[in-house]
Structure 1
Amino acid sequence: MREIVLDTETTGLDVNSHRIIEIGCVELINRIPTGKVFHRYINPERSIDKGAFKVHGISEEFLKDKPLFSEIASEFLNFISSDTLVIHNAVFDIKFLNMELGKLNAKLISSDRVLDTLPLVRKRFGPPASLSALCERFGISLESRKLHGALIDAELLAKVYIERLQTPLDRCQHTVRFREHLPSNEEVSKQLDKINVSVHEGVVDRRL
Structure 2
Amino acid sequence: MPVRRSSEGVGSIVADERTSVTAQLPLWATDLAVFDTETTGVDTTRARIVSATIALLGPEGEVVERYDWLLDPGIEIPLAAVQVHGISTEIARTSGIEAAVGVQQIVAQLLEMIERGFPVVAYNAPFDLSLLAAEAARHGVSLPAELSPVIDPLILDKQFDRYRKGKRTLEAVAAHHGVEIGNAHDAGDDAIAAGRVLQCIARKYADVIPQELAELHAAQVQWAAAQAASFQDYMRRVRDPSFVADGRWPVRGA
Query: TM (normalized to structure 2)?
Result: 0.60
Rate the CA distance shift 1:131–1:113 in 2: closer, same or farther, 3 A: same
Same amino acid, percent of matched pairs? 24
Counterpart position of 2:219: none
Give 1:42 deviation, angstroms.
0.6
Task: Say which of 37, 52, 57 aligns to 2:86.
Answer: 57
Task: State the partner residue of 1:156.
Answer: 193
Return the alpha-carbon distance in structure 2 between the equivalents of residues 32 and 88 of structure 1: 15
**Structure 2 residue corresponding to 1:90, chosen from 125, 144, 148:** 125
Question: 1:11 & 1:49 partners in 2: Cα distance?
Answer: 6
Deviation of 1:172 (Å): 11
How far the C-alpha of 1:8 sits from its partner, in A, is 0.5
| Matched residue, 2:100 | 70
Greater RCO, CA 8 A, separation 6+:
1
The aligned residue for residue 9 of structure 1 is 38
Higher gyration radius (CA): 2
CA distance in 2, matches of 1:157, 1:17: 25
1:165 alignment partner in structure 2: 202
What CA distance in whole angstroms lies between the structure 1 residues aligned with 2:108 and 2:87? Answer: 26
**Distance change in 2, residues 1:120/1:60 (3 Å):** same
Q: Deviations over 1:42-80 (max 9, x none)?
A: 101111222222211111111012102221334323322
Alignment match, 1:38: 67
1:201: which partner in 2?
none
What value does the CA root-mean-square deviation take over the aligned residues? 2.7
Q: Deviations over 1:128-166 (max 9, x none)?
A: 221111121122234x32x41111101111221123334
**Amino acid in structure 1 at the alignment position of 2:122:** I
Match of 2:140 among 105, 117, 122: 105
Please list every run of 5 or more consecutive structure 1 residues that lacks an aligned counterpart in the other structure. Answer: 174-208
Match of 1:47 among 66, 71, 76: 76
TM-score, normalised with respect to structure 1: 0.72
Unaligned runs of 5+ in 2: 1-27, 212-254
Corresponding letter in the other structure for 1:131: L
Q: How many residues were matched structurally?
A: 172
